[in-house]
A and B are shown apart, each in its own frame.
Chain A
Amino acid sequence: GNSVTQMEGPVTLSEEAFLTINCTYTATGYPSLFWYVQYPGEGLQLLLKATKADDKGSNKGFEATYRKETTSFHLEKGSVQVSDSAVYFCALSTNSGYSTLTFGKGTMLLVSP
């Protein structure tokens, strides 16, 4: 079956530090990959996505590259802000039939001033 593995949090960083949150996946076929962000007390928002190998998704300074050879989709940001504090979810969706999102367990990011 499909699965997504994320690094466990919380990840605690100072403002302007470099961020990496690791994500690897197991899937049949060629899934689409997503990063969703959940700010405190809110629902999930799509942060970025990639639909095929070597695609790079980017948004709000965050980036992730779809690496088929390592089955990874690591999230990076060069300089985090306090407002980036949230829970980040890596997810995959298979492209066959009626697919749903399979989520990782989420990684909490805490950024201090």
Chain B
Amino acid sequence: DTAVSQTPKYLVTQMGNDKSIKCEQNLGHDTMYWYKQDSKKFLKIMFSYNNKELIINETVPNRFSPKSPDKAHLNLHINSLELGDSAVYFCASSQVKNEQFFGPGTRLTVL
């Protein structure tokens, strides 16, 4: 009965590879987000989708491509991974303007 789930929890990969992180929410929310948390714990918004449409893209490199097949899912695909992409990525969801509920995070390590 997890509200916001992410897979995988850990992802270790080589530079240059392409990888995806999946996110699903069962709260019936219409807005989903991806955040990046760096090694110093700083959290920054990457993308936001409302009803499967991209509404916020915070100057993220175009190697990052979010995809929302339906309101309950927001996946993050990353091409040509770089060392600087190593971070914890959090998915979140909300009803518009209401509090956000976060997933458990995906720790990405690029070697």
Contact across chains for A105 and B45 when beta carbons are under 8 A apart:
no
Query: How far does the alpha carbon of A87 sit from the alpha carbon of B44 in the complex, in Å?
Result: 16
**B55 on the interface (CB 8 Å rule)?**
yes
Query: How far does the alpha carbon of A99 sit from the alpha carbon of B58 in the complex, in Å?
Result: 12
| Across-interface contacts of B111 in A (CB, < 8 A) | none
Chain B nearest CB, measured from A5 CB (Å): 13
Question: Which residue numbers of B lie inside 8 Å of A, CB to CB?
Answer: 4, 31, 33, 40-45, 48, 50, 55-56, 90, 92, 96-97, 99-105
User: Apart from A44-B102, A98-B96, what are 19 other A-B pairs with CB-CB below 8 Å?
Assistant: A38-B41, A42-B104, A42-B105, A44-B43, A44-B90, A45-B102, A46-B99, A46-B101, A89-B43, A93-B97, A98-B48, A99-B97, A100-B45, A100-B56, A101-B45, A103-B43, A105-B41, A106-B42, A108-B41
15 A-B contact pairs sorted by A residue (CB < 8 Å): A36-B102, A38-B41, A43-B104, A44-B92, A44-B102, A46-B101, A93-B97, A98-B50, A98-B55, A98-B96, A99-B97, A101-B43, A102-B45, A103-B43, A108-B41
